[in-house]
Amino acid sequence: MNLIIDCGNTNLKYFVFKNQSLVFKNHFRWKEDWPLKIKKNFPDLKNVLLSDVTGKYRKVDVEKSFPKKKVYAVKALDFPFKTNYNYKNLGDDRIGLITAAINKFPKEDCLVIDAGSCLTFDLISSKSFHVGGLISAGLAMRFKSLNIFTSSLPLVNFEDIEMNIGHDTKDSIQTGILEGFIFEIKGQIEKFENKTPNLRVILTGGDAKYLYKRIKNSIFAEQEFLASGLNNLLKCNKL
């Protein structure tokens, strides 16, 4: 059994896999006693993989919490793909997503779209080559930026509602940000599809649930795509 620890910009989550099947997942706080619960409930745990995009959490701290388990950091492992990307700048999350795409859709050209704290796009060729990607502001970040960088616009919380045009400031922000977010994703999909026929488009991330019904393109959607990719990374290294 494998434990995947995913330290993102917004949430801390862990996932327990038995072979390739996800058997448990949960959010946690770093200073709580979550390792004790895991060790009690999953005594057959073998490997622990730490994925951290923040730089705040250390492998040595995980090793202290799981002293009898094999603990790995993402970039200490071999990847099942080659890349044009600057290796040092490629985040643990994107490494996991690329690995998931290659495992789920081998020998297919894939575009992985992750709608989380940031909006990222990664293009992977049918030969398991990471061509490169794009990074843009995520949905919550766009709402916050209007409030932070203006004098009078309020901080608006996103509401999952259908709206064509706003009739006050709040509704205008709701509509403007969501419509802009969707148009950006659709535009990037169209651009990549024009260059790469038969492209497999994968949509995942915390905000993906707001996008499935609004994006008409033929896409593969999986909420825990990142976690499965990180688990696959252990499999690729025969761990």
| pLDDT given for residue 162 in this prediction | 82
Residue 129 has pLDDT above 80, yes or no: yes
How many Cβ atoms are within 10 Å of 152's Cβ, its own excluded?
Answer: 6
Residue 196 has pLDDT above 80, yes or no: yes
User: What average pLDDT score do residues 68-75 get?
Assistant: 94
- Which residue in this structure is represented by tokens 């620890």? 5
Compute the residue count for the chain. Answer: 239
At 135-183, the pLDDT tens digits run 999 999 999 999 999 999 999 998 888 878 888 999 999 999 999 999 9
Please identify every residue annotated as catalytic.
93
At 14-41, the pLDDT tens digits run 999 998 899 999 999 988 888 998 999 9
Largest CA distance in the chain: 60
The region of weakest confidence among 62-66, 128-132, 185-189, 205-209 is 205-209
The region of weakest confidence among 168-172, 209-213, 229-233 is 209-213
Average confidence score pLDDT of the chain: 93
Torsion of CA 13, 104, 130, 119, to 10 degrees: -40
